[in-house]
Chain A
Amino acid sequence: MLQILQDNWLLFLVGQYPHGPIGGLAMTMFMAVTALTLCFPFAIALALARLSPYRVLRLPATAIVHGVRGLPLIMFIFWTYFFSPLIIGRAVGGVETLVIALVIYEAAYLSEIIRAGIEGLPKGQVEAAKALGLGYFATTFKVVLPQALHNMLPSMVSQFVSTIKETSLGYVISAHEVTFAASQVNNVLLTKPFEVYGILALTYFTLCFALTSLARFIERRISAERGAAPGVTVTA
């Protein structure tokens, strides 16, 4: 196992770079960060639309969220793979395909987290903002969202972990990320599949476990903060 790591650690980390496209763990992280960053505005828009009093906004947003939740990610990847050349007019690489598919998929899941965060806020916050004369946008972006997003930090870290795990599907469309790198190593060695995929599993585990532990830590901090906040008693 150590021998495999010694020979291939660079491939696991950055793929064939600098002799080829960048890949490996670096690409995994890059795709996860990009996907989560890009899906953020969509997720907020979806969450606000689902909470909106207007049917025109609420119904389509609800349909999108339920539709996405009902399909495997792989379906989105294939749809993106086949559809984006029609829209953009040229073939799209594996990395772009995966990021686009992840943005759509994660936006729906993240929007549910954001919605729960907003619904979890005491009603008094909105009422107080309205009483102060703030409009919808000021209320949402200056009062509701900052608090909701803060409370949701642990869930968002968990969402980041899911995104990292989901980038492994890049393997299916030959996007050069760490699972792809491992399968390359496996194809060269041929005789040590358990060791190669064991290293891969261990890599993901170390990374994701660190992040889930971070999420737990933040969760404790936030609930302690809430418990310790002086003089704030909320009756809903």
Chain B
Amino acid sequence: MGYVFDLGAVLSGQYLNWFLIGIATTLALTAAAWCLAMTVGILLTLVRMIPFRPFEWFVALYVEYHRNVPLLVQIFVWYFGVPSLLPRWARLWINAHHGEFLLATVALGLAAAAYVAEDLRSGIRSIPKTQYEAARSIGFGYLGAMGYIVLPQALRIVIPPLINQTLLLFKNTSLAMAIGVGELTYRTREVESYTFKTFEAFAVATAVYLAVSFCIMALGDFADRRLKLEAR
């Protein structure tokens, strides 16, 4: 067909540079959104444990919204919608501080938080209540029972699904290209349109995504095996 597959053309000079910036941005976005997701996820789980009906409803609504609306639409709501409600000075501040990266982080993090909260809840729920009661009856306080007995067991159950959520989060950062965040997919398109080396550019991106994903998957498998063994 006369098409010469030439990886060198996209992996040199400024194009290599673009790829590296893209990879760094993808990883930074993953890390920032991950921290937000964990914080909000834990907060939601704590709020849910408070026996006050409206709190439970709020968390349930939060989770259902983030599960039933496409992530891309959530990103659009944050990127296009929310700033239009803010006062002018806040909009200017956001624009001056990498607005698209910031809002993409918020959208990705809050969406992942819903899944994290669900995982945490099912993890805590799967520890029989008698464990807590036994701890209390031998003299542990609420914090002691939770901290020494319930949570260590729950964490063991929760870690593999949380690693899986990390994988999803990592892949979902690719959606941030739709609002112009210069992450890997966005940079790949840029390299492609400058060099016309379509297949090479996407081969590089695919390889990077796969490499990172496989690392996360391997970590998940390792945690799965390790924690299961200890549980016996």
Comparing A17-25, A91-99, A205-213, the segment that makes contact with chain B is: A205-213
CB–CB A205/B80 < 8 A = no
Interfacial chain A residues near B172, Cβ < 8 Å: 72
Q: Does A122 contact B (CB under 8 A)?
A: no
Chain A positions 158-205 with a Cβ under 8 Å from a chain B Cβ: 161, 164-166, 168-169, 171-172, 179, 182-183, 186, 191-198, 200-201, 204-205
Pair count A-B, CB < 8 A: 113
Binary contact track B198-218/A, C-beta < 8 Å → 1, others 0: 110010011001100110010
CB–CB B80/A197 < 8 A = yes
Comparing A63-71, A124-132, A147-155, the segment that makes contact with chain B is: A63-71
Q: How far is the CB of A163 from chain B (nearest CB, A)?
A: 11
Interface residue tally for chain A (C-beta within 8 Å): 39
Interfacial chain B residues near A166, Cβ < 8 Å: 70
Q: How far is the CB of B174 from chain A (nearest CB, A)?
A: 4
Task: Determine the distance from Cα of A200 to Cα of B75 in the docked complex, in whole angstroms.
Answer: 12
Task: Determine the distance from Cα of A164 to Cα of B65 in the docked complex, in whole angstroms.
Answer: 15
Known: A70-B209, A70-B210, A72-B209. A194 touches B72 (CB 8 A): no
CB–CB B80/A212 < 8 A = no
Task: Determine the distance from Cα of A72 to Cα of B210 in the docked complex, in whole angstroms.
Answer: 9
Picked from A78, A171, A183, A209, the residue with its CB within 8 Å of the CB of B202 is A78
CB–CB B70/A71 < 8 A = no
Known: A70-B210, A71-B213, A72-B172. A165 touches B185 (CB 8 A): no
Interfacial chain B residues near A75, Cβ < 8 Å: 174, 185, 202, 205-206, 209
Binary contact track B99-135/A, C-beta < 8 Å → 1, others 0: 0000000000000000000000000000000000000
Task: Name the residue on A nearest B67 (C-beta).
Answer: A212
Interfacial chain A residues near B189, Cβ < 8 Å: 78
Interface of B is mostly: helix
Interfacial chain A residues near B74, Cβ < 8 Å: 201
By size class, the interface of chain B is: 35 or more
Interfacial chain B residues near A182, Cβ < 8 Å: 73, 76
Q: How far is the CB of A206 from chain B (nearest CB, A)?
A: 8
Interfacial chain B residues near A79, Cβ < 8 Å: 202, 206
CB–CB A82/B199 < 8 A = yes
Q: Does A74 contact B (CB under 8 A)?
A: yes
Interfacial chain B residues near A164, Cβ < 8 Å: 70
Q: How far is the CB of B166 from chain A (nearest CB, A)?
A: 13
Known: A70-B213, A186-B80. A212 touches B174 (CB 8 A): no
Q: How far is the CB of A9 from chain B (nearest CB, A)?
A: 18
Select the residue from B177, B188, B206 with max chain A CB neighbours within 10 A: B206
Picked from A70, A74, A171, the residue with its CB within 8 Å of the CB of B217 is A70
Comparing B42-50, B81-89, B137-145, the segment that makes contact with chain A is: B81-89
* Residue ranges of B at the interface with A (Cβ–Cβ < 8 Å): 64-65, 67-74, 76-77, 80-82, 84-85, 167, 171-175, 177-178, 185, 188-189, 198-199, 202, 205-206, 209-210, 213-214, 217
Taking A75-B174, A193-B81 as known contacts, 11 extra A-B pairs with beta carbons closer than 8 A to each other, sorted by chain A number, are A70-B167, A70-B214, A73-B171, A75-B205, A179-B72, A182-B73, A186-B80, A193-B84, A194-B77, A194-B82, A197-B81
* Residue ranges of A at the interface with B (Cβ–Cβ < 8 Å): 66-67, 69-75, 78-79, 82, 161, 164-166, 168-169, 171-172, 179, 182-183, 186, 191-198, 200-201, 204-205, 208-209, 212
Q: List 5 A-B contacts (CB under 8 A).
A: A72-B172, A75-B206, A191-B84, A200-B73, A201-B77
